[in-house]
């Protein structure tokens, strides 16, 4: 083991774990060839066409080889992309452009754009293949240039992946057995990278400025709780990594009983995005579903799914939790989840535009049909189905949604508290609905006016911000003012932070919903404190002048976090 160099990078820890490994840098995205780029004077069209065909075959062979070792959706993605790499229509179109004088890089770039547009216009399954074409385009250009292909690097040994950030497509073939930690120089605590890391149980740090300067093969120590990366780990780091390895296995088992040490019950639920997620969450001991993201039925489609298609999809989740609560969130389209048949891509500010519940203003009928599908699915299931609407801003909107639920035959309507106005008027809102659930990811970005995907704003975009904690407190106060015990839950990523989970319970939150992998850690830490102690720590957090001090002060009172490497 080399001696600690003293070089350390600091970012935002988003998924706990202490691990040592060698770095592999994510290749830079392939840049577009210059518009109008022509064949070099000493290269014939025949030679350029031959080079293009050779590159396409090399890409196909590489993708085919990778698909053999992949599983499930990742294997399907690779197989489909491999087929597209040698698609005769694509190659023929590119060769035609080369014959007209284009460089092979520019030719495949333009040909792929045309093919992708054509496939998209065909709709349905063919439209889904458009993404494969654009992926192949980048890979062929990289092959022609002799640079690394985009995507997760290949390696015979496990490594720590370092990148500027990861796109959703980058994670299709991410194998937790090979990638042992994630570090990015940008992104925030609620970025896609952070969410994926928590779901896979990988130690992760985001917004670690400068970390992309670390060269491939360098040995580093990553602390996903502290948010630090140490180059050339020494004896202390080695000991910490060994201790984490010894305790990590114990943190994968949850007994299915969320509670404080004095017996105060706090059901720990799971966030899921479909039947497969639900089955895994049930196996992990989740006490129900606190957030069923229904976008999985709608995304990557040009048309609205039928009621029958939705019924089948929802029932698969409901059946995984017989007799337990399943909280379904109606379609949260818009902003970072645009849908061609529902949202307007030309909106100047989609995050503040027609998204979530607001799509019913411009496209009435879609929400009603979804609620009909939920009701039909619930009729054939033993699950206790609750339904909530995202992006509710007023009590009137909450009342209108409750009326739609009643018309569909759904008995337990609720709303998401993601907009500060909903937190401030929770008492009035809870006169119209039966429960609220705090979506802390959006609540934080709206309260702090900070895009949750932006690395430079990561310090603002944390639910430890005193303003966000005050909004949680006010939401609970509004529920208590009603005097009838309507519950306030949290389904945002804040619930997966064991220290913050204690604070949320101390503030009066009734249930916590999180990725299934976080259940054991949160359950273990909650069981180490009494309700009174949780309330004292909530007061400590509320009194702190900033997010860093709030987090540090609470963690100082929870030594179990250090013991467990959380």
Report residue 50 CA to chain centroid gap: 42
Domain membership of residue 2 (yes or no) is no
Contacts of 456 (CB under 8 A, 6+ apart): 186, 207
Q: Are 295 and 369 in the same domain?
A: yes
Name the nearest CA neighbour of 29 among 181, 159, 108, 134.
134
Domain membership of residue 401 (yes or no) is yes
Contacts of 166 (CB under 8 A, 6+ apart): 26, 182, 184, 187, 192, 193, 196
Domain stops at, among 145, 168, 195: 145
Report DSSP state, residue 288.
E
Domain stops at, among 145, 175, 193: 145
Q: Are 289 and 217 in the same domain?
A: no
Domain membership of residue 37 (yes or no) is no
Contacts of 96 (CB under 8 A, 6+ apart): 111
Rounded CA-CA distance 495/289 in Å is 13
Q: Are 168 and 298 in the same domain?
A: no
Residuewise pLDDT in 10s, the chain (566 residues): 445 567 899 998 888 889 999 999 988 778 889 998 999 888 899 999 999 999 999 988 888 887 776 655 556 666 777 777 878 888 999 999 999 999 999 999 999 998 888 877 665 556 556 767 887 888 899 999 988 777 788 788 999 999 888 765 566 567 888 899 999 998 777 776 787 788 788 899 998 999 999 999 999 999 998 899 999 998 999 999 988 888 877 677 788 899 999 999 999 999 998 898 899 999 999 999 999 998 887 766 677 889 999 999 999 999 999 999 999 999 887 655 566 666 666 667 777 878 888 888 888 888 999 999 999 999 989 999 999 999 999 999 999 999 999 999 999 999 999 999 999 999 999 999 999 999 998 999 999 998 877 778 878 989 999 999 999 999 999 998 866 679 999 998 899 999 999 999 999 999 999 988 889 999 999 999 999 999 999 999 999 999 999 999 999 999 998 888 88
Q: Are 558 and 528 in the same domain?
A: yes
Q: Are 223 and 9 in contact (CB under 8 A)?
A: no
A 10 A CB-CB count for 448 gives 20
Domain membership of residue 519 (yes or no) is yes
Name the nearest CA neighbour of 25 among 135, 183, 158, 140.
183
Q: Are 290 and 406 in the same domain?
A: yes
Rounded CA-CA distance 312/324 in Å is 19
Q: Are 170 and 26 in contact (CB under 8 A)?
A: yes
User: Residues annotated in the binding site for phosphoenolpyruvate, as ranges?
Assistant: 293, 329, 441-442, 452
The crossing angle, in degrees rounded to 10, of helices 498-506 and 519-526 is 50
List 120, 192, 264, 557, catalytic entry: 192
Q: Are 51 and 72 in the same domain?
A: yes
Q: State yes or no: is 192 an active-site residue.
A: yes
Give kind and range of the element (H or E) at residue 184: strand 179-184
Q: What is the pLDDT of residue 231?
A: 94
For residues 497-526, one letter each, b for 16 or more C-beta atoms within 10 angstroms of the residue's C-beta and e for the rest, the string is: bbbbbbbbbbbbbbbbbbbbbbbbbbbbbb
- Give the SS3 label for residue 490: strand
CATH at 389: 3.20.20.60
Domain stops at, among 245, 280, 311: 245
CATH at 213: 3.50.30.10
Q: What is the pLDDT of residue 20?
A: 95
User: Is the C-alpha dihedral spanning 505, 506, 509, 515 positive or negative?
Assistant: negative
User: Residues annotated in the binding site, as ranges?
Assistant: 293, 329, 418, 441-442, 452
- Give the SS3 label for residue 119: helix
Per-residue H/E/C for 145-176 = HCCCCCCCCCCCCCEEEEECCCCHHHHCCCCC
Q: Are 194 and 283 in the same domain?
A: no
CATH at 63: 1.10.274.10
Domain membership of residue 35 (yes or no) is no
List 264, 297, 491, 557, catalytic entry: 491
Classify 87 in phi/psi space as left (phi over 0), alpha (psi -120 to 50) or beta.
beta
User: Residues annotated in the binding site for Mg(2+), as ranges?
Assistant: 418, 442
Q: Are 125 and 159 in the same domain?
A: no
Q: State yes or no: is 297 an active-site residue.
A: no
135: tokens are 């992926």
Q: Are 168 and 111 in the same domain?
A: no
Domain membership of residue 340 (yes or no) is yes
* Beta-strand pair 413-417/435-438: parallel
Q: Which domain holds residue 162?
A: 7-26+153-245
Q: Are 333 and 453 in the same domain?
A: yes
290: tokens are 């606190």
217: tokens are 């093969």
Structurally, the chain folds into a number of domains equal to 3
Dump strand ranges (E) for 277-379: 288-293, 325-329
Q: Are 465 and 557 in the same domain?
A: yes
Q: What is the pLDDT of residue 22?
A: 95
Rounded CA-CA distance 49/363 in Å is 48
DSSP string, 203-236: -EEE--TTGGGSPTT-EEEEETTTTEEEES--HH
Domain membership of residue 38 (yes or no) is no
Q: Are 132 and 81 in contact (CB under 8 A)?
A: yes
Radius of gyration from C-alpha coordinates of the chain: 25
Q: What is the pLDDT of residue 1?
A: 45
Q: Are 174 and 204 in the same domain?
A: yes
Domain membership of residue 464 (yes or no) is yes
């Amino acid at each position: 083991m080399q001696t600690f160099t003293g070089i350390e990078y600091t970012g935002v820890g988003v998924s706990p774990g202490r691990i040592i490994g060698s770095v592999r840098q994510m290749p830079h995205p392939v840049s577009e060839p210059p518009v109008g780029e022509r064949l070099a004077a000493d290269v014939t069209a025949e030679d350029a066409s031959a080079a293009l065909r050779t590159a396409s075959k090399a890409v196909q062979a590489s993708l085919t080889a990778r698909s053999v070792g992949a599983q499930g959706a990742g294997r399907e993605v690779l197989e489909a992309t491999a087929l597209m790499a040698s698609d005769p229509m694509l190659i023929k179109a590119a060769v035609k452009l080369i014959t007209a004088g284009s460089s092979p890089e520019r030719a495949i770039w333009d040909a792929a754009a045309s093919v992708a547009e054509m496939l998209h216009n065909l709709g349905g399954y063919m439209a889904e293949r458009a993404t494969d074409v654009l992926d192949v385009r980048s890979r062929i250009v990289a092959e022609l240039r002799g640079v690394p292909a985009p995507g997760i690097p290949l390696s015979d040994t496990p490594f720590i992946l370092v990148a500027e950030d990861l796109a959703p497509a980058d994670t299709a073939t991410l194998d937790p057995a090979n990638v042992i930690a994630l570090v990015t120089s940008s992104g925030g605590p609620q970025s896609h990278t952070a969410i994926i890391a928590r779901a896979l149980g990988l130690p992760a740090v985001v917004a670690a400025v400068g970390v992309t300067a670390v060269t491939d093969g360098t040995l580093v120590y990553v602390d996903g709780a502290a948010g630090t990366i140490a180059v050339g780990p020494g004896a202390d780091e080695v000991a910490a990594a060994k201790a984490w390895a010894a305790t990590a296995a114990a943190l994968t088992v949850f007994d299915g009983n969320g509670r404080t040490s004095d017996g105060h019950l706090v059901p720990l639920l799971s966030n899921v995005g479909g039947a497969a997620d639900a089955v895994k969450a049930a196996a992990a001991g989740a006490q129900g579903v606190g957030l069923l993201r229904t976008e999985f039925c709608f995304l990557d489609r040009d048309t609205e799914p039928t009621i029958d298609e939705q019924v089948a999809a929802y029932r698969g989740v409901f059946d995984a939790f017989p007799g337990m609560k399943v909280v379904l969130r109606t379609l949260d389209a818009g902003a970072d989840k645009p849908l061609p048949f529902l949202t307007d891509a030309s909106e100047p500010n989609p995050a503040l535009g027609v998204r979530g519940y607001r799509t019913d203003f411009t496209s009435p009928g879609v929400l009603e049909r979804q609620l009909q599908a939920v009701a039909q699915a619930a009729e054939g299931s033993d699950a206790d189905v609750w339904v909530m609407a995202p992006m509710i801003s007023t009590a009137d909107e909450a009342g209108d949604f409750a009326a739609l639920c009643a018309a569909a035959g759904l008995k337990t309507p609720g709303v998401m508290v993601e907009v500060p106005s909903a937190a401030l008027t929770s008492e009035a809102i809870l006169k119209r609905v039966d429960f609220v659930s705090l979506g802390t990811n959006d609540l934080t970005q709206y309260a702090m006016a900070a895009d949750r995907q932006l690395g430079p704003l990561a310090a603002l975009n944390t639910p430890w911000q005193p303003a966000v904690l005050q909004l949680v407190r006010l939401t609970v106060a509004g529920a208590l003012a009603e005097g009838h015990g309507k519950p306030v839950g949290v389904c945002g990523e804040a619930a997966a932070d064991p220290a913050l989970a204690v604070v949320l319970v101390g503030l009066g939150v009734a249930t916590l919903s999180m990725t299934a992998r976080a259940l054991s850690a949160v359950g273990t830490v909650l069981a180490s404190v009494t309700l009174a102690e949780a309330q004292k720590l909530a007061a400590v957090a509320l009194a702190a002048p900033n997010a860093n001090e709030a987090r540090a002060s609470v963690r100082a009172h929870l030594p179990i976090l250090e013991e467990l490497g959380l």
